[in-house]
Structure formats: structure tokens, C-alpha cells
Structure 1
Amino acid sequence: MKHLQGSCHCGAVSFEFDSKAPVPFMRCYCSICRKTSGGGGYTINLMGETDSLRIIKGKETVRSYRAVKDKSVPKEEQVLCQNRYFCPTCASYLWAHCDDYPQWIYPYASAIDTELPVPESTSSLMVQFAPAWADPRNHEKTSKDDVFEEYPDYSLEQWHKDHGKLA
């Protein structure tokens, strides 16, 4: 288990949590991740233990946004996605949480202040939604990197187990 600390850009919010899966290896290119977290056209989430999440500073300021999975369907048929928690002052995304997996939080690697391990390989998922400028299929790829049109056939936890990185 690795203890990690994170914060927003302006310093209004800081938090900590424990993670068995601290290697930032999986890049998500879905439109929700791209548009809510910015960056290089993708976002990278870690996996943390929900029960270990402690907001050290700014608990009263943290806000959440619940994205819609597919905005093209009628409003009454829309399915909600993960809650995404952020600082309303500087708009830094901090972590996500999914009702389907209440035991996990998914902190954004970009919000983590603790030094994270360097992955020996990466995975890119949901690349069918990547814009051409960010699409990893349009860039040089090493043999260690996996690319998936949608979701990979393994979870964050399974990747860490398979690579001997589960803390």
C-alpha cells in the first residue's frame, strides 16, 4: 500500500489516500476525460481506497460534476457517469468516484504531489474518441504500449498485478 498526497493548483484543496495501484500507466481519451481534465487530450487516473480518502484542506470547497455518458440520446434515457471532484477556485480536477465501485476512488495523476513510479509501458483506451492531434495511433508507438479502441481487457488493479506493481 502506498500513501499518496495531492492538491489543486491554487492550494485551496489538499487530500491524501492509500493506493495499491500507484503507477500512472493508463491514458483515457474519451470525450468526458478529455474535456473535463484538459491536458494532452487524455487523462490518467490512479486507483485509491475510498475509505482512506482524507481531505486535509478545503473540504467545504470541493465540488463535483456528474457527466452524462452519451449526450446524443434523449435526456430521459441518459446514463450518468462517474462523479468528478474538483476545486471551484482553480478548476483542478482531483479525483473521480463511481457508484458501481464504491470501494475505489480514481485520483487524477496530475493532482498527485507524491512522486509516482514511472511505468515501463502504457495503455491508451477509448482511442476511437481521441482527436487526431492526440490520437496515439497517429504517433510513434513502442512495442510495450497497448492501444484499445474502447476499454482494455484488464482493470487498473489487474495491470498492477500482472506487472508486479501492486503495492
Structure 2
Amino acid sequence: MIHLKGSCHCGQVEFEFDSETPVPFMRCFCSICRKTSGGGGGYTANIMGLSKTLVITKGSDKIKSYRAIKDKTKPLEEQQQCQDRFFCPQCASYLWAYSDEWKQWIYPYASAIDTPMKPPPATASIMLESAAEWADPRKLPRRAELNQMFDEYPDFSLEMWHKEHGELV
């Protein structure tokens, strides 16, 4: 068991909980995660926490929630709602998801966790049929020279990258 702490970007909301599964290994590309979290190039990475241990240490009166619809293409009477997504309305940081279907768990967004977490030994990408084409890992180049990584900002601008790769419009 590990105790984790998290917060929103503006600092109005802080929370903590215990987790038996604190490694953020799964990246969800579903349209709901992609549209509501805006994280990770079109995906969101969740971990799992014990709901009975969730303590909102700051800003409990600030938190809002949103319950998405699973398939908006279906007629209204057939639509199913899914997990509640809790967020800070001031800075729009998504904090965790919760479902009445699995009352014992919360699903904190890894991006909201402040406690250092262990990097995953492997990752899983799910809901790829909903992935935006530009973020779909099945369609991204695999050659190392095309997948650069930087500890801080790179020494080139977005415009420079687009020019270099013939993508400036």
C-alpha cells in the first residue's frame, strides 16, 4: 500500500488516498478521456485508489464533477452515463474519476498526483479505436530519430519543427 497526494494546478484543491496499484501504466484513448482531460497527446493515464481512503484536504467546496455519456450517437433513451470525473473549476485540472459501479475504487489521473511514482515497466494503450489519428500510437513513427525526448523545452520552436518536417501551412 502506498499513500499518494494530489492537487490541481492552481492549488485550490488537494487530496490524498491509498493505493495498491500506483503505477500509471494504462493510457486510455477513448473519446471521453481524450476530450475531457486534454492530457498526454489525446490520452489520459489513470491509477487506482481505495475510495474509502480518499480525503480532500483542501478545497472540498470547490470541486465539481461531470458525468459523460458513453455513446452520444445512440438515441437519448438508450444512452448510458459513465464515471463521474471530478475537477477544479478554477483551473480545469481533472483530479479523479469515480463510478457507482465500482464503489470501492477511485481512479485518480496520474497527472494530478504530486507524490513521486515509479515509472511503469511496460505500458498499455486502450480504446485505440477512439484515438485521434495524430495521437494513435499504432500510427506514430517508431524510428528513434523521429521520437525525440527532452528534459526541458527543446531548442527549437513549434514553427521551426513544422518547417523542418515540411508541415508548415
* TM-score w.r.t. length of structure 2: 0.82
Shift of residue 74, structure 1, vs aligned partner: 1.1
Q: Summarize deviations over 1:17-54 as a string: whole Å, max 9, x none.
A: 00000001100000000000002110000000000000
Structure-2 residue corresponding to 1:12: 12
Distance in 2 between the 1:88 and 1:130 partners? 26
**Aligned residue-pair number:** 141
Shift of residue 55, structure 1, vs aligned partner: 0.1
If you compute each CA radius of gyration, which structure gives the higher value, 1 or 2? 2
Structure-1 residue corresponding to 2:126: 125
Structure-2 residue corresponding to 1:32: 32
Shift of residue 8, structure 1, vs aligned partner: 0.2
Letter in 1 for 2:104: Q
Any runs of at least 4 consecutive aligned residues in structure 1 with deviations exceeding 4 A, and if so which? none
Structure-1 residue corresponding to 2:56: 55
% same residue: 64
Q: Summarize deviations over 1:47-86 as a string: whole Å, max 9, x none.
A: 0000000000000010000000000111111100000000
Structure-2 residue corresponding to 1:161: none
Q: How do 1:1-167 and structure 2 match up within 5 A?
A: 1-39=1-39, 40-139=41-140, 140=142
Q: Secondary structure at the match of 1:22?
A: strand
Structure-1 residue corresponding to 2:161: none
Q: Secondary structure at the match of 2:107?
A: strand
Distance in 1 between the 2:130 and 2:84 partners? 20
The 10-residue stretch of structure 1 (130-139 or 27-36) with the greater mean CA deviation from structure 2: 130-139
* TM-score w.r.t. length of structure 1: 0.83
Distance in 1 between the 2:46 and 2:132 partners? 20
Question: Gaps spanning 5+ residues in structure 1: where?
Answer: 142-167
Shift of residue 132, structure 1, vs aligned partner: 1.1
Q: Secondary structure at the match of 2:82?
A: strand
Letter in 2 for 1:105: I
Q: Secondary structure at the match of 1:36?
A: helix
The Cα RMSD (Å) is 0.9
- Higher relative contact order (CA closer than 8 Å, sequence separation 6+): 1
Distance in 2 between the 1:108 and 1:87 partners? 13
